[in-house]
């Protein structure tokens, strides 16, 4: 079966001249989207074909971009105009779209290649001034995908280059063949605040709680101390306290992720299922839970640690859509917010089934992952992320 997976890989810090080239390309790309958008508004069209016929060639002469990037800019523009028109149609008040910020650089599927050089992977980007070679920061988790791409055994889609806090990332959609996941034990991991993580299989064979209570208590102490230092204008100490807290958070995340892997390894052929949190900010309706979580703990870090350690242990990781995992009844499938009227307890308003809410969440995640694997269909960043077959052997203890 095949799976669509979206990778987010950091570029090894590019040299000053390469950074300058990337910034220049980003400015041109943004300008192209902006120009195309103005044309689309002028022509009052959402048609890709019409925009291509009447604006593409003129704008091609105005911006200095490879044609593969301009094609992506054209798609992006149509997408922007269409969602604007759709909002108007629904009767929403929506101002005509304008490009205000720098856009991630769109690079078409034929505008780049992944090359392998021994242990290293390099992005070969086509620019108007020839190829730009950009080494990638790869790890055990990305390796199987990058190897497949470099060997031409996987398909690549239109990619993006994004700058965040001075670092560049490649967002790389890929489709590849993976072995069937039958006869595996799917371990759902529900992340949250009251419990940092709850680990369970759909059949309840495995249940483990990682309480978040000690975390909250300790963080409150950190907060109080920082607050009093701030009042005392000891900013040097404030920074030191903050670093200390970051180190502590990282340590907790290491311990929890390690313990989760160890739990999963108690079962034969384990697969770990996680909620997809990455990219949630862009999603239109992030659930309340996800929003709360994003601000309350370094969950992104915890997820990265789980993925990384799972990859090292040869355990595949499946990401599932987080929507309604906490509201859905395991027994009858009924989903409504009323099922969670008491926060800690899940109680189905349809069939009366009751369970600890986080346990219900973890099992739902496992069920969703099983459905994802059975259908062989995944979308966006969700899917089977690591295949055990192509990973290095695991130490018996599975500890990292
Ligand atoms: Zn029910």
CA 268 centroid distance within chain: 27
Do the domain assignments include residue 400?
Answer: no
**What's the pLDDT score for residue 331?**
83
d(CA 170, CA 163): 9
CA-CA-CA-CA torsion sign (391, 393, 399, 400): negative
The token pair at 133 is 């070679």
Instruction: Please check whether residues 60 and 189 belong to one and the same domain.
Output: no
Question: How many A from CA of 349 to the centre of ligand 1?
Answer: 7
Do 146 and 276 reside in the same domain of the chain?
Answer: no
Question: How far is ligand 1, taken at its centre, from the CA of residue 44, in Å?
Answer: 49
- The runs of H, that is alpha helices, within the chain are 16-43, 48-51, 57-62, 67-89, 143-150, 213-231, 235-264, 288-296, 299-313, 357-375
Distance 339 CA to ligand 1 centre (A): 9
Please give the pLDDT value at position 31: 97
209 CA → ligand 1 middle, Å: 23
Domain co-membership, 224 together with 157: no
Q: Is residue 256 part of a domain?
A: yes
DSSP single-letter state for residue 284: S
SS3 204: coil
Residues 164 and 74 in one domain: no
In angstroms, the CA 381 to CA 147 distance is 19
Centre of ligand 1 to C-alpha 347, Å, is: 8
* C-alpha R_g of the chain: 24
Q: How far apart are alpha carbons 137 and 308 in whole angstroms?
A: 14
Q: Are residues 99 and 112 in the same domain?
A: no
Is 396 inside any structural domain? no
Locate 190 and state its tokens: 């529900």
| Stretch (H or E) spanning 345 | strand 345-347
CA distance 248 to 223: 13
Domain-embedded: residue 386: yes
199 found inside a domain: yes
Distance 328 CA to ligand 1 centre (A): 8
In the prediction, which pLDDT does 29 show? 97
- Taking each helix axis from N to C end, the angle separating 235-264 and 213-231, rounded to the nearest 10 degrees, works out to 170
Answer whether residue 169 is part of any domain: yes
What distance in angstroms lies between residue 371's CA and the mean position of ligand 1's atoms? 19
pLDDT score for 385: 40
pLDDT recorded at residue 176: 67
Domain count, the chain: 3
Taking only the tens place, the pLDDT of each residue in 102-144 is: 999 999 999 999 999 988 999 999 999 999 999 999 876 678 7
Chain segment 328-345, per-residue pLDDT in tens: 988 888 888 889 888 789
* Nearest residue to 333 via CA among 341, 322, 324, 342: 324
68 CA to centre of ligand 1 in angstroms: 50
Q: Does the residue 59 lie in any domain?
A: yes
Same domain, 237 and 99: no
The backbone region for 135, taken as left when phi is positive above 0, alpha when psi lies in -120 to 50, beta otherwise, is: beta
- Residue 28's domain comprises 19-103
CB atoms inside a 10 Å sphere around CB 372? 23
**pLDDT attached to residue 4:** 64
Same domain flag for 152 and 246: no
Joined together, the tokens standing for residue 355 give: 């369970």
Tokens 């593969």 found at: 68
Percent of the chain with pLDDT over 70: 85
Among 46, 73, 103, where does a domain finish?
103
pLDDT of 107: 96
Token couple for 390: 């192509």
264 CA distance to ligand 1 centroid (A)?
27
Same domain, 358 and 271: yes
Encode the chain (400 residues) as per-residue pLDDT tens digits. Answer: 555 667 888 999 999 999 999 999 999 999 999 999 999 999 998 899 999 999 999 999 999 999 999 999 999 999 999 989 988 888 878 888 999 999 999 999 999 999 999 889 999 999 999 999 999 998 766 787 898 899 988 889 899 999 988 899 998 888 766 555 557 889 999 998 888 999 999 888 899 999 988 888 898 899 899 889 989 988 899 999 999 999 999 999 999 999 999 999 999 888 899 988 765 444 445 566 666 666 678 888 898 899 889 888 888 888 888 888 888 988 888 888 889 888 789 999 988 899 999 999 999 999 888 877 766 544 333 344 433 333 222 333 323 2
Among 55, 78, 103, the domain boundary falls at 103
User: In this structure, are residues 1 and 141 in contact, taking their beta carbons and an 8 Å threshold?
Assistant: no
* Judgement on whether residues 262 and 120 belong to the same structural domain of the protein: no
Q: How far apart are CA 287 and CA 362, in angstroms?
A: 16
Contact (Cβ atoms closer than 8 angstroms) between residue 292 and residue 191: no
Shared-domain flag, residues 65 and 204: no
- Give me the CATH number covering residue 304: 3.30.420
Clarify whether residues 92 and 27 are in a common domain: yes
Distance 329 CA to ligand 1 centre (A): 5
User: What pLDDT does 2 receive?
Assistant: 57
Contact between 383 and 8 under an 8 Å Cβ cutoff? The reply is: no
- Looking at the DSSP bridge assignments, the partners of residue 126 are 131
Enter the tokens of residue 87. Answer: 């909002």
The reported pLDDT for the residue numbered 391 is 29
Whole-angstrom CA distances from 102 to 71, 162, 168 are: 18, 10, 14
Domain end call among 50, 84, 103: 103
398 inside domain: no
The residue among 83, 55, 84 whose CA lies nearest residue 71 is 55
**Gap between the Cα atoms of 30 and 46, Å rounded:** 19
If asked whether residues 9 and 27 sit together in one domain, one would say no
Global pTM value: 0.55
Q: What share of the chain is helix, strand, coil (3-state, %, to 5)?
A: 45, 25, 35
Strands 185-191 and 195-201: antiparallel
CA of 156 relative to ligand 1 center, distance in Å: 41
d(CA 279, CA 5): 13
Q: Say how many Å lie between the CA of residue 319 and the centre of ligand 1.
A: 24
């Amino acid at each position: 079966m095949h799976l669509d997976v979206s990778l987010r890989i950091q570029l090894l810090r590019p040299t000053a001249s390469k950074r300058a080239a990337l910034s220049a390309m980003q400015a041109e790309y943004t300008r192209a989207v902006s120009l195309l958008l103005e044309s689309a508004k002028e022509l009052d069209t959402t048609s890709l074909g019409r925009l291509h016929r009447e604006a593409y060639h003129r704008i091609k002469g105005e911006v200095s971009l490879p044609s593969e990037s301009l094609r992506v800019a054209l798609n992006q523009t149509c997408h922007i105009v269409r969602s604007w028109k759709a909002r108007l149609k629904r009767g929403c008040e929506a101002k005509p779209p304008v490009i205000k910020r720098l856009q991630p650089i769109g690079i078409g599927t034929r505008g780049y290649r992944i090359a392998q050089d021994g242990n290293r992977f390099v992005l070969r980007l086509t620019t108007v001034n020839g190829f730009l070679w950009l080494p990638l920061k790869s790890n055990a988790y990305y390796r199987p995908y990058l190897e497949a791409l470099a060997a031409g055994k996987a398909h690549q889609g239109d990619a993006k280059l994004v700058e965040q806090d001075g670092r560049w990332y490649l967002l790389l959609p890929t489709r590849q063949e993976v072995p069937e996941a039958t006869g595996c034990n799917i371990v759902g991991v529900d992340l949250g605040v009251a419990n940092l993580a709850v680990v369970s299989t759909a059949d309840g064979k495995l249940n483990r709680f990682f309480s978040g209570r000690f975390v909250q208590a300790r963080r409150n102490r950190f907060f109080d101390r920082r607050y009093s230092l701030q009042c005392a204008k000891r900013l040097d100490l404030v920074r030191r306290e903050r670093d200390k807290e970051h180190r502590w958070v990282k340590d907790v995340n290491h311990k929890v992720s390690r313990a989760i892997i160890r739990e999963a390894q108690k079962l034969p052929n384990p697969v770990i299922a996680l909620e997809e949190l990455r990219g949630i900010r862009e999603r239109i309706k992030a659930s309340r839970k996800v929003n709360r979580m994003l601000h309350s703990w370094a969950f992104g870090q915890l997820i990265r640690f789980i993925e990384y350690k799972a990859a090292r242990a040869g355990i595949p990781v499946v990401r599932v859509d987080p929507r309604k995992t906490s509201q859905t009844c395991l027994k009858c499938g009924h989903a409504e917010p009323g099922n969670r009227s008491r926060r800690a307890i899940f109680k189905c308003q349809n069939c009366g089934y009751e369970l600890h809410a986080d346990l219900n969440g973890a099992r739902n995640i496992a069920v969703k992952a099983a459905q994802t694997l059975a259908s062989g269909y995944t979308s966006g960043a969700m899917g089977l992320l690591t295949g055990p077959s192509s990973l290095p052997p695991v130490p018996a203890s599975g500890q990292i």
